[in-house]
Amino acid sequence: MNTAPRFSFIRWRLSWLLLGLALTCLATAGIRTIETSMSALANAFLDSLDEGQLAKVQREFDSERKDWHFVPKNRDGLSLKEMSEEQVDLAYGLMSQGLSEQGLELVSDIRSLELVLQVMEGPGRAFPRDPDLYHVWIFGEPGDEEWAWRFEGHHVSLNATIVAGEGVSMTPTFLGTNPAKVPIVERKGHRALAQEEDLAFAFLESLSETQLSKAVFRTKAPNDIFSFVDRETKPLPIEGLGFGDLNAEQQDSLKSIVDLFLKRNRSEIRSAALAKIGADGWGEVSFGWAGSLKRGEGNYYFIQGSSFLIEYDNTQNNNNHIHCVWREFEGDFGEDLIRQHRHAHVH
């Protein structure tokens, strides 16, 4: 029996495992640095606050850490509107330790759409459209074994949890846009989440009829993402189209969509997430679609694997209002990191 192909496969597989291990080690070292820099910037931000501001920002670690949302509403954190220019810079500096430059620009872009809504909706709205009504909270003491921060307002919710020696979680991460495509003269045609839509449609249009029959699980899109603002999310009970049912080009396209959601984070956090998906196996990943196959009509998609869930929905405001989220089944709010840490240490 000719065993050469088998040994060749083993060598190929081993080389990829060793590369994955090396990338994981590099990502781990980088994340340790992020833990330190986040703590330093969070403490600098806290030191800049007066007593009244501090009361709005800081909470006990497990008090309201999972009380998140993405709608326009009154929030009890400290808003950008209440900060000095220096404090806003420090708040953005803290976010920059978790987000990439692309992620920071996207947050600012989404905030700027509040000014578009001001024009579209006119005066008299009960809750104001204001790009400075975005709030910061810090849970626990930065530098302690477990602490967290959140930046949140309309269509943005960033949730970071830092566990000493274990890592940094950046989920749930929710971003949305209203309008998804700006209809008014000023900034007409601008789309803050264009790639999230375009890459998905390009992937969808590459599917055969047989593949589409597996991918499309409902002809009408849901009104919103299924996971909504659940404090704990579970895998969707929908089979969808499996990664193994795709050709090589389609697999690369699906990976590109997943990476699009991860590229909002610092490269070290992105690399660690990709390494985990690879370790779990891309064969566990599936894609599902609901609603119309045409642009401009209500649609929804999900991508989920063993550990994560991506959701995208565009159905509200005449299908011009996007919600999208990255969730982790065990890792939202750093719960997996916290369990590991508490298991290894006596508390």
Q: Determine the number of helices (DSSP H) and then strands (DSSP E) in the chain.
A: 10, 13
* 285/294 Cα distance (integer angstroms): 24
Rg (CA), the chain: 21
pLDDT of residue 1: 38
Identify the H or E element spanning 221. Answer: none
Dihedral sign of CA atoms 107, 308, 60, 228 in order: positive
Whole-number Å distance between alpha carbons of 143 and 42:
9
Which pLDDT value is given to residue 125? 83
Q: What is the pLDDT of residues 120-149, one digit of tens each?
A: 998 888 889 999 999 999 999 999 999 999
pLDDT digits (tens, 9 = 90+) for 167-216: 999 999 999 999 999 999 889 999 999 999 999 999 999 999 999 999 99
Higher pLDDT, 308 or 13: 308
Residue carrying the six token digits 């709608």? 71
pLDDT at 32: 84
Res 312 pLDDT > 90: yes
What is the rounded CA–CA span in Å between residue 136 and residue 63? 15
Cα–Cα dist 213/240, whole Å: 9
Whether 163 and 82 have beta carbons less than 8 Å apart is answered as: no
3-class DSSP assignment, residue 93: helix
Nearest-angstrom CA–CA distance, 223 and 237: 18
Residue 330 has pLDDT above 80, yes or no: yes
What's the CA gap between 133 and 158, in Å, rounded? 15
pLDDT at 29: 54
| Phi, psi (rounded to 5 degrees) for 97 | -80, -15
The per-residue pLDDT for 126 is 81
254 touches 288 (CB < 8 A)? no
Per-domain boundaries in the chain:
17-344
